Structure 1
């Protein structure tokens, strides 16, 4: 473990950093904490204000020194893979060669930049003799961006110039990348992504000195906002993760993941939850849900009003949920076969428990990918009838058009990600950071400004609480997933992948299938999800839902939000054709799904016996829902 004690000799770079931080704090607050020297006309600050500024300056410096001199860095080192001073460099190493080919030195391009910049400056800076109002807040700005919607970005010419220059440069750099014809399409898309991410990070909104809103808040609070922001920053550094929601606002099993049920089966890889029925009669065919193992299952059980689980129970379904275990060192050898075997085992357990020949199955995101392989394997074995129907929530099986995540799957990126593993598993915070980067402005920089620069309190938002409740991933399986599926797209190549000794051929899947995609999904793009229609051979209903990867799925009918599209024409070959002939329906697609489920088998039985988990002495259950696996960190 690295020694973090400052070197008294002054040669230790860590000590030098502390000294520099102290000088920065003193310089920043010096004009506000010392008597004015501006002359007799300058009004000195009231003594109470001076004391407040001095107090907050001292608090800032003290907090930072205490943080650096305690075991916070060492504690973070134990949580993350290796020295915390090194892991960001490892994580960002995947970008290091992406921008080397950008033509920044093109003289013609530089000349165009200078010309446009000069025009912008001339329009925004106040010429001699003109009033500030003539070129300030009332001036029409050539570029708009919601990050700079606050009037204060326009009221003062200097801030208008700063953000308009930034938008101009961002626009021009991205245009340069778009015009690069000496690299292939995939590399150009990778460069576009990296350039956009860099531009988002360099926004003037993300720095206190160039953000008028932050500067106003500092003055209004006499520096108190900086103290609060520093507290938020240090807390996030300690836990190694950006905070989006008040971490104390929700408790798993109490106000989220609270639908009553029992854990009826478990293995070292997962727990199987059966929920208590809410109707006197239930559909004979039970439902088993496979959520993604890269997140906690309770995205489908956030609260009573948003819970897909609760709604499905109210529709008369017997609902089972798989709760995957967050990876630890004991799971270092977990691979593709283990998750497919787990799905088959869970399906068989539900069938045996309720004495039913088959189940309805749902696969969400990556669990949908493995569900497709499971269905193909069962078909090859002659056991396809174990699954009455299959539903896919935003799941990909053909990764040709898999979107921005494809930028992380070349050899360099995969090697960088594997360099972050520890004891055979990948810390879930790295995966969370990757997904946040896909929407950097919304999920990173917006919170950097709010939490750190403005010092605002965290809000209570169950969806963002779930988003931050990360799970660890088996490193070997995660590597194979990126290589075999995202990079090499082997799942759709018959026989190229095997599971449990059986070659996978998706063309053998004839189970009735319901496929839901999100119109604005940035993780599993609709065009990518659509490709499942090109490989399965059974009856298939495709639904395009409004919104994205989460809100497009978690959209209860009572909310009255969004919409969905269905094309009843059975002879549609492309997503473009689907869109062109689709009918838009307001609200949630859930009622369409339950109608489809009932059309597969409408037989009902009484909700008694083992339909009510733990209700009889002969039904031995393990523990109440949501179980302990979802609570393990």
Structure 2
């Protein structure tokens, strides 16, 4: 039966989703039942766990955990609390792994849920059991807790009003997204911004950047010092960037085909109308997935307008999506579809909750300690300001994306349809430059690496340190940056991800410089800058980014 916003089941699931952060209770329950039934039917595993509990209870081995690294944790009774917690953590790790018969995904789900629960009850999270907080409280006479209570009330009120904390120091168009440019195209889904070249000569092939539709584009034009857009412009490239509209209830019926047609295809057509026969196409995160789909469709149809393809932290194979995949199954998708039916879109906070759980210690509990117990507000910075500027996703598109890519893995299997016909990544003949990041919790690098297996063209694969955003924002002069790079020619034998890692040593510096050289090698002879004949619609950063 088709779910509607008036259906009782839909309304009930939507209300329940507000309490669970959009996570399906049925999906969790199914995983727990599977694990529990196999555990009670495994006396040998039970004996092992009992023995482990007795051993861990008497063990005082020091373990490395960043939550307990302060010297104050070495004093009694805090050292006992920390060691007891770590022993319990080890026990649950053993209990939820290596249990024969359990569905592997269910086992990972139970393991993940157990870690979330343990992270929540860590003694570091409570003032009475955290010696660092107690020392701070004594030295400040409790003022830290007073400030923390004030911060908690601020955040609680924002939660009730669904208004995220906004930066007062960093605003779009002033401190953020400041590279000069013009909006040269606008439709109901995207604006396209053109950035003015700063060199006397430019390469004939411009660069089109397709960001993910779940983020504001200016992550790639963050500040004057951390702007990939400005860097490419200064390397002699004309740069175009898509800025996605933040969808509302009226956009509920936008489909993946609309994102292809109104987004990437419309942008390519406009760039060609401006006199460029070919272009370099770049996609970031889900924007890279979308670009790969369009590239496969262009190749299927015999269109060679893409001089090269660059994919940044973008997956094309979702068979191993990492822990984010634990949130995606039939039960979870159906639950989300009911939630989206009441609004016509998925709210940004419902989506952000899943990403925060992937790094709960860093993104949730460390902030609880710092903000509410130590009374320290995280200073404003550009990346935090961008992260708080979240976007929504239209119901139909998000459902199609989850079902076609995450659940069915249609793109990797050659079943994803564009214009009613399937596309295949193996049809792509443009050279590919693929970047992955070492600690990416959204697009694990081993999953991103599978582009080398699924395509029959030259692939340059780069692995840089950092996470999903920080690794991509790896501007020159950024301290502590390194990257590995390798090249696979068409026809070369496939190398597994672990073997690739072992055979490629890291290089110091930014991958931006390596990429720039690669782009130039795939470009034509530099030409004189030509005046643009397109009348700007607005100045950058445009209108959609402000929604």
Asked if Structure 1 and Structure 2 have the same fold, meaning a TM-score greater than 0.5 normalized by the shorter chain, the answer is yes
2:510 to 588, 602, 606: 588
Deviation at 1:594, TM superposition (A): 1.2
Query: Is the Cα–Cα contact under 8 Å of residues 572 and 578 in structure 1 kept in the other structure?
Result: no
1:99 to 8, 11, 32: 32
Whole-Å Cα distance in 1 between the matches of residues 487 and 417 of structure 2? 35
Whole-Å Cα distance in 1 between the matches of residues 511 and 46 of structure 2? 54
1:601 to 510, 523, 533: 523
TM-score (norm 1): 0.78
Partner of 2:535: 620
Query: Is the Cα–Cα contact under 8 Å of residues 91 and 420 in structure 1 kept in the other structure?
Result: no
Whole-Å Cα distance in 2 between the matches of residues 388 and 221 of structure 1? 62
Partner of 1:388: 307
After superposition, the C-alpha distances for 1:232-253 in whole angstroms (9 at most, x for unaligned) are 2222223339999872221011
Unaligned runs of 5+ in 1: 1-80, 124-140, 611-617
RMSD: 2.4
Task: Report whether the alignment pairs 1:240 with 2:172.
Answer: no
Which aligned pairs between 1:337-416 and structure 2 lie closer than 5 A?
337-341=257-261, 342-353=263-274, 355-383=275-303, 385-416=304-335
Partner of 1:88: 20
Partner of 1:58: none
Whole-Å Cα distance in 2 between the matches of residues 272 and 223 of structure 1? 52
Deviation at 1:513, TM superposition (A): 1.1
Moved more, 289-298 or 234-243: 234-243
Partner of 2:494: 573
Partner of 2:455: 536
Query: Is the Cα–Cα contact under 8 Å of residues 208 and 214 in structure 1 kept in the other structure?
Result: yes
Query: Is the Cα–Cα contact under 8 Å of residues 211 and 285 in structure 2 kept in the other structure?
Result: yes
1:116 to 43, 55, 58: 55
Whole-Å Cα distance in 1 between the matches of residues 441 and 72 of structure 2? 32
Flag the structure with larger Rg: 1
Q: 1:581 to 1:154 in 2, by over 3 A?
A: closer
Deviation at 1:414, TM superposition (A): 1.7
Whole-Å Cα distance in 2 between the matches of residues 299 and 272 of structure 1? 15
TM-score (norm 2): 0.90
Moved more, 400-409 or 242-251: 242-251
Task: Report whether the alignment pairs 1:512 with 2:431.
Answer: yes
Q: 1:115 to 1:380 in 2, by over 3 A?
A: closer
Ranked by relative contact order (alpha carbons within 8 Å, sequence separation 6 or more), the top structure is 2
Query: Is the Cα–Cα contact under 8 Å of residues 561 and 588 in structure 1 kept in the other structure?
Result: no
Query: Is the Cα–Cα contact under 8 Å of residues 236 and 243 in structure 1 kept in the other structure?
Result: no
Query: Is the Cα–Cα contact under 8 Å of residues 245 and 464 in structure 1 kept in the other structure?
Result: no
Aligned residues between the structures:
522
Query: Is the Cα–Cα contact under 8 Å of residues 87 and 420 in structure 1 kept in the other structure?
Result: no
After superposition, the C-alpha distances for 1:243-266 in whole angstroms (9 at most, x for unaligned) are 998722210111111111111111
Whole-Å Cα distance in 2 between the matches of residues 308 and 511 of structure 1? 22
